[in-house]
Chain A
């Protein structure tokens, strides 16, 4: 295995990381890099990883040389020179990494920088063109691929000319954008000037690109792969329920594509293949299409010759090992020579994945969390992304997958309650149908309940009739269930439709345990189906499963020694990204300790679902009934649960299960006000004694290490309920960065809390200690004397002078909040930044 000749002769390969998470960046780049570096190592390369994301797992990899440094031209250049890097693979770091590499290449001077490393995965020209979206599109246009004509305008006068020529609606996006891919769709004259100004500010060159808007068309994404010989294959495709005009990330998406005819999909496929050819892609390419059903017009609206969320999601939902294939294609292997670990069918890389399940992605909005903190934001969905994450639901029908996605997204938002829907007037309903908000799906259901016709609604919303027919079915099912409390057949139908015990219990006004007991008695039990990419054609080596209610259960108990890890679920604001980090390290440690590991999770960009990290993965919502069902199936020795899931922990303990808790607060921790500092004394409790680790100062937007040495006996009297990482917190009206601070009086002005996962990831990196692993060892009684010694010496270890700085998320652009959002509290993702530490 892994002995195929590749095209590159390079030994040392740099993978540029994706940096901080943000709107549209959920850590998928780190997960991909973390997955491919062991393969690169095995193939005889020396991988290097550069990143500044404190939650990056790849930065703690033992097979790669890792460098924590800002993602800047200087950092990349000096790393290349210092280490003698021979090739650079930027595509797994996403758009940000490709653009950075393009900048490095344009600045490159052989006499100053030495020999220029080879670029893997993309031709240099394409790397350069990624920096200028229009250049990419123009290359496609030269190949006669259908794109929307766009013109650049650098003044209001030029923009107004375009307005006169084409009329509204228009799409305005930044030419040479500074950061994301922001675009505005303008359909009211009043908004035009403001939109031009807003978008111009996003452009490095201070000009905008204007094109005709294609609102209302169907949006379809294809992911294709291409090798250096020009062989192309389709990995997957998904369609958005919401039409163009609503940002794709804010749309409900379905894979596989359900409502587009074969002849149209085949045309998209041919165009995507041609686009991959034109751009010289060696790896994968995500192509986004707009399709007008009335005129059959088809446009390519976006190409992403790098890893993005759609690519990582389609890889997960099809079960195709896209990252392992993609990296080998980037190295120059033909698709026919790609090898995969033994757990895959030998020929799988060459087979286009086929799905016999439905995967629904729902966006997650943070409006509720923000409202709870007193921040009001603009909830109306449009062409600028507002969602902060996403959740997946898997099933064998659209309804089942939808219901499971809704449950996975864990809506606890006021606007989702039926009473709220009842209060809407018909006018408000129509207004919200035309100008959708985060509660889109419930609103559509409400409209159907009130008797609006499917064709009217489809006309009004530009949503395919299929979805309305499906929602009508869902309404009918729910009404039937409500009307027949306790009916066994209705229970069966409810479960088949993806409803949880909890929801059925609410319909029947009973306790959820009653429903669960009834289901067990009547043998209405989930049947787990393998998630694999051949739709049953070949005997599968399956590790991934989802639940449905049919006749055959393909999952059998993994073993007597298994530990079930309940994931953190959907990515969301706050330390959501950090939870993925913590659980993945926990998983890796349990595995190292020879436990069989089973993961239950549902986020597409979560490392804990990587197939090589655990023995078995269940892609399920994380409600109590879902967890219980997997517990019944697997009878694990112990269950590892994040501490914020109190109800679940209680329920499991009541059933006599062994539960390991990873302490975590139920709600988003509060932060310091703008004129004060919060001090965090972090320590570890192994169940018997406490180990002080470090003292940090937290100001809005930044967290730094202090020089204090915490006296060993200071914490002696503290005995938290269970092993874990904790913090003593106090606040002072100081703003300047401190060197040392006096210890607080524990009895009066300080309080104790579980350490936020983000701090845990940060401290692991700056202290250079595998903190999460110590906790796991303590939980399973395997914390060694050597570990204890290391923990006791934590304060004397050299610390990396890195601050954790809030990400640069543009909340004003995305959410238009009525006040400044504290980005350390509602973080989208921080980064590590060096600071001057005084001695």
Chain B
């Protein structure tokens, strides 16, 4: 049935509803990656957001067991031009439409997504809603909606759990962890314990970690309590630490840097990322609404290791005194290029050194 996408600035797009028929509200952003719709939709960093896919045909590869980045999508809406109904599930005829219905996520297709993206690249993210009828009520509802800033609370695990392995003991502090990180740690046979972000220094250190990862996650890092930054300040002195995505932003904040909100968020995988020391470039999945401000780096504490050559944003940081570093992009791919996984290799080398030295 015909549904409508309404933006906060009054722009309206008509399209055909799919997925859940509910009315939905969220912050609308766009993604230019051409692959990995299922991974993107299930990535917890999109908690509270609505995604517009630039890729015009979405759903052609069905829904796969290997392509979940979380058990249930946290995204508030999916906007595509052409929805393909293909099922690859042997048990149930599960396609993208049914998948979103099952998880109560509304979608809208047959939208001029190129026009929408060209619009959003100018306005930046804004509130949006998918409704059946465009009327004053719909606009009032949209204007009255206050989007949550509790996305991390919504999506991160409230309880610790283990993902056992035979290798190094890695603590993952969960701010909205995507499965890709667990998958890549699994490739190293790491013995993983995932802790909620409200964990304490004591709880972490009691587990005697060989390394610590600050996970990816949704939302504005400055909405998180100061206790998180205190935790990072202590942990970075105790064991090798890697921050990813939101974890990178928190690592920067914990070390005195400040963040800037991007005028238009960047979600894609086609920007060249340069490793500053070697000048080599590679590509990685990015999903960011904030960047670390170059001018705010305290030269005694942090230095930049990577930058995006298109918008010159900081993509990697390293602490001068501790084996602690962080990247803005996603080194686990899923979806996205695998070449960025060298970050994980670096991390495990650092962990191995630490383990050798401390034994």
Whether chain B is bound by chain A comes out as yes
- Give, as a whole number of angstroms, the nearest-CB distance from A449 to chain B: 19
What sequence of 0s and 1s flags, for each residue 242-274 of chain B, a beta carbon within 8 Å of any chain A beta carbon?
Answer: 000000000000000000000000101111101
Asked if B35 and A357 sit within 8 Å, CB to CB, the answer is no
Asked if B57 and A397 sit within 8 Å, CB to CB, the answer is yes
A355 to B81, CA, bound (A): 13
Judge whether B228 is part of the interface by a CB distance below 8 angstroms: no
- Give, as a whole number of angstroms, the nearest-CB distance from A544 to chain B: 14
A231 to B55, CA, bound (A): 26
Option from B61, B117, B280 in Cβ contact (under 8 Å) with A536: B117
- Give, as a whole number of angstroms, the nearest-CB distance from A487 to chain B: 17
Known contacts A233-B283, A258-B57, A347-B309; is A354 also within 8 Å of B338 by CB? Answer: no
What sequence of 0s and 1s flags, for each residue 134-159 of chain B, a beta carbon within 8 Å of any chain A beta carbon?
Answer: 00000000000000000000000000
Asked if A350 and B309 sit within 8 Å, CB to CB, the answer is yes
Asked if A259 and B337 sit within 8 Å, CB to CB, the answer is no
Option from B36, B112, B117, B280 in Cβ contact (under 8 Å) with A230: B280
A240 to B64, CA, bound (A): 22
Judge whether A479 is part of the interface by a CB distance below 8 angstroms: no
Judge whether B107 is part of the interface by a CB distance below 8 angstroms: no
Judge whether A336 is part of the interface by a CB distance below 8 angstroms: yes
Asked if A263 and B269 sit within 8 Å, CB to CB, the answer is no
Those of A524-569 within 8 Å (CB) of chain B: 527, 529, 534-539, 550-552
Those of A230-246 within 8 Å (CB) of chain B: 230-231, 233-234
Asked if B86 and A353 sit within 8 Å, CB to CB, the answer is no
Asked if A262 and B67 sit within 8 Å, CB to CB, the answer is yes
A256 to B121, CA, bound (A): 23
Judge whether B240 is part of the interface by a CB distance below 8 angstroms: no
Judge whether B8 is part of the interface by a CB distance below 8 angstroms: no
Known contacts A538-B121, A552-B112; is A335 also within 8 Å of B281 by CB? Answer: yes
Known contacts A258-B61, A262-B334; is A469 also within 8 Å of B35 by CB? Answer: no
Known contacts A260-B61, A269-B338; is A469 also within 8 Å of B85 by CB? Answer: yes
Closest to B66 in A: A263
Q: Residues of B contacting A539 with CB < 8 Å? A: 121
- Give, as a whole number of angstroms, the nearest-CB distance from B83 to chain A: 10
Option from A259, A267, A354 in Cβ contact (under 8 Å) with B34: A354
Those of B46-88 within 8 Å (CB) of chain A: 54-57, 60-61, 64, 66-67, 81-82, 84-86
Asked if A356 and B55 sit within 8 Å, CB to CB, the answer is yes
Q: Residues of A contacting B310 with CB < 8 Å? A: 347, 350-351
Q: Residues of B contacting A351 with CB < 8 Å? A: 270-272, 310
Closest to B54 in A: A535
Q: Which of B56, B115, B338 has the most C-beta atoms of chain A within 10 angstroms of its own C-beta?
A: B56
Known contacts A354-B34, A396-B81, A466-B84; is A233 also within 8 Å of B334 by CB? Answer: no
Asked if A356 and B337 sit within 8 Å, CB to CB, the answer is no
Judge whether A470 is part of the interface by a CB distance below 8 angstroms: yes
Judge whether A398 is part of the interface by a CB distance below 8 angstroms: yes
A273 to B30, CA, bound (A): 28
A245 to B268, CA, bound (A): 35
Those of B10-69 within 8 Å (CB) of chain A: 13, 30, 32-36, 39, 54-57, 60-61, 64, 66-67
Known contacts A230-B280, A269-B337; is A469 also within 8 Å of B84 by CB? Answer: yes
Judge whether B118 is part of the interface by a CB distance below 8 angstroms: yes
Option from B30, B61, B114, B274 in Cβ contact (under 8 Å) with A550: B114
Those of A350-378 within 8 Å (CB) of chain B: 350-358
A459 to B341, CA, bound (A): 37
- Give, as a whole number of angstroms, the nearest-CB distance from B177 to chain A: 19
Judge whether B339 is part of the interface by a CB distance below 8 angstroms: yes
Judge whether A716 is part of the interface by a CB distance below 8 angstroms: no
Asked if A550 and B54 sit within 8 Å, CB to CB, the answer is no
- Give, as a whole number of angstroms, the nearest-CB distance from A267 to chain B: 7
A592 to B272, CA, bound (A): 38
Option from B61, B85, B115 in Cβ contact (under 8 Å) with A261: B61
A369 to B78, CA, bound (A): 48
Asked if A355 and B34 sit within 8 Å, CB to CB, the answer is yes
- Give, as a whole number of angstroms, the nearest-CB distance from A264 to chain B: 9
Known contacts A258-B57, A466-B86; is A354 also within 8 Å of B33 by CB? Answer: yes
Judge whether A674 is part of the interface by a CB distance below 8 angstroms: no
Q: Residues of A contacting B333 with CB < 8 Å? A: 262-263, 266
Judge whether B113 is part of the interface by a CB distance below 8 angstroms: yes
- Give, as a whole number of angstroms, the nearest-CB distance from A340 to chain B: 14
Judge whether A739 is part of the interface by a CB distance below 8 angstroms: no
Asked if A536 and B84 sit within 8 Å, CB to CB, the answer is no
Q: Residues of B contacting A231 with CB < 8 Å? A: 280-282
Q: Residues of B contacting A260 with CB < 8 Å? A: 61
A624 to B337, CA, bound (A): 44
Judge whether B279 is part of the interface by a CB distance below 8 angstroms: yes
- Give, as a whole number of angstroms, the nearest-CB distance from B116 to chain A: 9
Asked if B56 and A354 sit within 8 Å, CB to CB, the answer is no
A194 to B110, CA, bound (A): 53
Option from A358, A529, A537 in Cβ contact (under 8 Å) with B57: A358
Q: Residues of B contacting A397 with CB < 8 Å? A: 56-57, 81-82
Asked if B268 and A263 sit within 8 Å, CB to CB, the answer is no
A350 to B266, CA, bound (A): 16
Asked if A537 and B32 sit within 8 Å, CB to CB, the answer is yes
Closest to A536 in B: B117
Q: Residues of A contacting B217 with CB < 8 Å? A: none
What sequence of 0s and 1s flags, for each residue 269-293 of chain B, a beta carbon within 8 Å of any chain A beta carbon?
Answer: 1111010000111110000000000
Asked if B114 and A552 sit within 8 Å, CB to CB, the answer is yes
Judge whether B335 is part of the interface by a CB distance below 8 angstroms: yes
A234 to B33, CA, bound (A): 13
Judge whether B336 is part of the interface by a CB distance below 8 angstroms: yes
Q: Residues of A contacting B282 with CB < 8 Å? A: 231
A351 to B34, CA, bound (A): 14
Judge whether A653 is part of the interface by a CB distance below 8 angstroms: no
Asked if A261 and B32 sit within 8 Å, CB to CB, the answer is no
Judge whether A257 is part of the interface by a CB distance below 8 angstroms: yes
A534 to B250, CA, bound (A): 30
What sequence of 0s and 1s flags, for each residue 326-345 of chain B, a beta carbon within 8 Å of any chain A beta carbon?
Answer: 00000001111111000000
Asked if A262 and B336 sit within 8 Å, CB to CB, the answer is yes
Q: Residues of B contacting A470 with CB < 8 Å? A: 84
A470 to B57, CA, bound (A): 11
A527 to B113, CA, bound (A): 13
Q: Residues of B contacting A263 with CB < 8 Å? A: 66-67, 333-334
Asked if A356 and B339 sit within 8 Å, CB to CB, the answer is no
Q: Residues of B contacting A529 with CB < 8 Å? A: 114
Asked if A536 and B118 sit within 8 Å, CB to CB, the answer is yes
Option from B57, B270, B280, B337 in Cβ contact (under 8 Å) with A354: B270
Those of A258-295 within 8 Å (CB) of chain B: 258-263, 265-267, 269-270, 273
Those of A438-466 within 8 Å (CB) of chain B: 465-466
A536 to B84, CA, bound (A): 22
Q: Residues of B contacting A551 with CB < 8 Å? A: 13, 112, 115
Asked if B56 and A262 sit within 8 Å, CB to CB, the answer is no
A258 to B117, CA, bound (A): 21
Query: 9 tightest A-B contacts by CB?
Result: A552-B115, A262-B36, A262-B335, A535-B54, A352-B270, A550-B112, A536-B117, A258-B60, A397-B82
| Chain A residues close to B by CB (< 8 Å) | 229-231, 233-234, 256-263, 265-267, 269-270, 273, 334-336, 347, 350-358, 396-398, 465-466, 469-470, 527, 529, 534-539, 550-552
| Chain B residues close to A by CB (< 8 Å) | 13, 30, 32-36, 39, 54-57, 60-61, 64, 66-67, 81-82, 84-86, 112-115, 117-118, 121, 266, 268-272, 274, 279-283, 309-310, 333-339
23 intermolecular pairs with C-beta atoms under 8 Å apart? A233-B272, A233-B283, A256-B55, A261-B61, A261-B66, A262-B67, A262-B336, A269-B338, A273-B339, A336-B272, A336-B309, A350-B309, A351-B270, A354-B55, A356-B54, A357-B56, A397-B81, A469-B86, A534-B270, A536-B54, A537-B268, A550-B115, A552-B114
Known: A351-B270, A358-B56. 18 other contacts (CB 8 A): A229-B280, A231-B280, A258-B61, A258-B84, A261-B35, A262-B35, A262-B36, A266-B35, A266-B333, A267-B338, A336-B274, A347-B310, A350-B281, A350-B310, A351-B271, A536-B117, A550-B115, A551-B115
